[in-house]
Amino acid sequence: MFFRVSEIYLTEFLKILMFDELTSLKVRAAELSAIIECIPDAVYIGGPKGILRANKKALDMLGFDTLDELNQHIEILADKIKTRDLHTGKRLATEEEPFYKAFLGESNERDVVTTHIKSGKEIIVRCSAAPVIIDGKIIAAIAINTDITEKIQNKRDLESAIKKLRKQNEELDKFVYTTSHDLKAPLNTIDPILQIVKDENKSVLKKDAIQLLDMAIRKVRDMSDFIHSLLKSATTLEKVKELVDLNKILNKVIASLDIPSNINIFVRHNLPTVYFHKYSLMQIFQNLLSNAIKFMDKENGVIKIDCRESEDMYIISVKDNGPGIATHELEKIFEKFGKVNKDPSKDSSGLGLSIVKDIMKENNGSVWAESEINKGSTFYFTIFKS
């Protein structure tokens, strides 16, 4: 009797265990189904003979209404949706299909072009596929397809725009370079002729005539400098970097400038040695110092060149006690032909600071200004230590 009761209890216990296990499997299957549906990408599960499971996103991506329509041999399905390699445009053989390769045990990823079977619209898809392995055996394959059509199109549009812009820049540089040379040639002749006329006739010319000749010579040289700035702005030749002593560079630049007696320039004696293109640095200092001198409005003008450093860069400054610049115009001064001083007596091409900005941009550096009206301006630029 005891054994009979025990047998009944054991049978019932096994039924309960089997029911619990079955219930647990159903719960897990339901959870998995919910997870698959929540995934924003297309999910396919199956093998070479067909797709056994797919979420709604997968059906919508290819234009199928039901799983039965999708559940076809991989070769037939690939033919329907016209799967092609994104880069070569060639149709994929069955053994090249990411889903098929996954079923053979190879995790892989490939960008392909497929066709929506209803609209005929081409879709660019990134297909990531992997085998499903249980107890060392491949029982299925799973693929996640991401629609990257918009991403690829944006990339192509950007590449096209960059290519077009590069071509336009090359044409513009060529135009500026050619035009500048054509303009500069006659100026190189006019300047010495005017100088000879002045020198050889100084004794017979009236004071007003000499002043007019001096003005003409100055204007010719200003125009020559302006054209020279255009040429520098248009130059696209590769610049070779080297170790440059900033104090030596500044001594050369300052010696080349026409500095009025009312302006004093102070340079920190122990400026660093930096790795940069030497003539670009000379150009930067020449433009910044020329501006500070040109627009100085104080009887006792002061220009200071200094440097401070951070962990990875030097921050060099050129400070003056000139007229200053309004805050809202600080960005404008770095634009090509961006003049903020309208005084006609202050000859300026408006290119100097834009050239400085271009040099900094080429070298991943920065340039900016801080200023206060009637108190002066400070221009900063950065040079990386390595």
- Residue 360 maps to which CATH number? 3.30.565.10
The Cα–Cα gap between 278 and 286 comes to 12
> What pLDDT band is residue 31 in, cutting at 50, 70 and 90?
low
Q: What is the pLDDT of residue 264?
A: 94
Asked whether residue 157 is assigned to any structural domain, the reply reads no
The Cα–Cα gap between 341 and 294 comes to 11
Please check whether residues 220 and 355 belong to one and the same domain: no
Please check whether residues 385 and 242 belong to one and the same domain: yes
Percent of the chain with pLDDT over 90: 24
**How far does Cα 176 stand from its chain's mean position?**
25
Q: What is the pTM of this model?
A: 0.47
Please check whether residues 366 and 248 belong to one and the same domain: yes
Q: Which of 88-97, 138-147, 346-355, 375-384 has the lowest mean pLDDT?
A: 346-355
The Cα–Cα gap between 110 and 146 comes to 11
> What pLDDT band is residue 79 in, cutting at 50, 70 and 90?
confident
Q: What is the pLDDT of residue 348?
A: 52
Please check whether residues 244 and 340 belong to one and the same domain: yes
Please check whether residues 250 and 367 belong to one and the same domain: yes
The size of the chain, in residues, is 386
Please check whether residues 330 and 363 belong to one and the same domain: yes
Edge-first strand listing for the sheet containing 263-267:
263-267, 301-309, 313-320, 376-384, 367-372
Asked whether residue 20 is assigned to any structural domain, the reply reads no
What ranges in 66-206 are assigned the alpha helix state H?
67-70, 74-80, 98-103, 149-200
376 dihedral zone (left: phi>0; alpha: psi -120 to 50; beta): left
Please check whether residues 266 and 329 belong to one and the same domain: yes
How far is CA 35 from each of CA 61, 99, 271, rounded to the nearest angstrom?
A: 18, 20, 63
Q: What is the pLDDT of residue 226?
A: 66
Q: Which of 299-308, 321-330, 341-350 has the lowest mean pLDDT?
A: 341-350
> What pLDDT band is residue 147 in, cutting at 50, 70 and 90?
very high
Q: Based on C-alpha coordinates, what's the Rg of the chain?
A: 38
Q: Is the pLDDT score of 17 beyond 50?
A: no
What ranges in the chain are assigned the alpha helix state H?
2-38, 56-62, 67-70, 74-80, 98-103, 149-200, 207-234, 246-256, 278-294, 352-362
Angle of helix 149-200 relative to helix 207-234, nearest 10 degrees, comes to 160
Q: What is the pLDDT of residue 126?
A: 94
Asked whether residue 202 is assigned to any structural domain, the reply reads yes
Q: How many CA atoms lie within 13 A of 133 on its CB side?
A: 11
Residue 77 or 362, more confident: 362
Residues spanned by the domain of 226: 169-236
Please check whether residues 181 and 309 belong to one and the same domain: no
The Cα–Cα gap between 113 and 76 comes to 16
Domain tally for the chain? 3
Please check whether residues 141 and 65 belong to one and the same domain: yes
Please check whether residues 340 and 256 belong to one and the same domain: yes
The Cα–Cα gap between 374 and 151 comes to 52
Residue written as tokens 């619990």? 20
Please check whether residues 229 and 250 belong to one and the same domain: no
Q: What is the pLDDT of residue 9?
A: 42
DSSP state letter for 91: B
Please check whether residues 219 and 338 belong to one and the same domain: no
Q: What is the pLDDT of residue 384?
A: 94
* Paired tokens of 348: 């300026």
How far is CA 52 from each of CA 36, 80, 223, rounded to the nearest angstrom?
A: 13, 18, 78
Q: Which of 272-276, 332-336, 342-346 has the lowest mean pLDDT?
A: 342-346
The Cα–Cα gap between 377 and 99 comes to 65
Q: What is the pLDDT of residue 319?
A: 95
Q: Is the pLDDT score of 219 beyond 60?
A: yes
Among 11-25, 44-58, 363-377, the range with the most confident prediction by mean pLDDT is 363-377
| Burial (Cβ within 10 Å: 0-12, 13-18, ≥19) of residue 13 | exposed
Last residue of one domain, picked from the residues 112, 147, 182: 147
369, 325 in Cβ contact below 8 A?
yes
> What pLDDT band is residue 365 in, cutting at 50, 70 and 90?
very high
The torsion angle over the Cα atoms of residues 179, 181, 184 and 188, rounded to 10 degrees, is -160
Q: Is the pLDDT score of 25 beyond 70?
A: no
Q: What is the pLDDT of residue 1?
A: 41
Asked whether residue 184 is assigned to any structural domain, the reply reads yes
The Cα–Cα gap between 287 and 359 comes to 12
Last residue of one domain, picked from the residues 216, 236, 256: 236
> What pLDDT band is residue 362 in, cutting at 50, 70 and 90?
confident
Last residue of one domain, picked from the residues 236, 257, 291: 236
> What pLDDT band is residue 343 in, cutting at 50, 70 and 90?
low
Residue written as tokens 């970097």? 241
Q: What is the pLDDT of residue 171?
A: 79
**How far does Cα 335 stand from its chain's mean position?**
19
Asked whether residue 133 is assigned to any structural domain, the reply reads yes
Average pLDDT score over residue span 59-66: 87
Asked whether residue 21 is assigned to any structural domain, the reply reads no
Q: Is the pLDDT score of 11 beyond 60?
A: no
Which SS3 state, helix, strand or coil, does residue 334 take? helix
> What pLDDT band is residue 168 in, cutting at 50, 70 and 90?
confident
Average pLDDT score over residue span 65-73: 80
Residue 323 or 1, more confident: 323
Q: Which of 79-88, 238-247, 297-306, 333-342 has the lowest mean pLDDT?
A: 333-342
Asked whether residue 2 is assigned to any structural domain, the reply reads no
Asked whether residue 154 is assigned to any structural domain, the reply reads no
Average pLDDT score over residue span 376-386: 93
Residue 229 or 244, more confident: 244
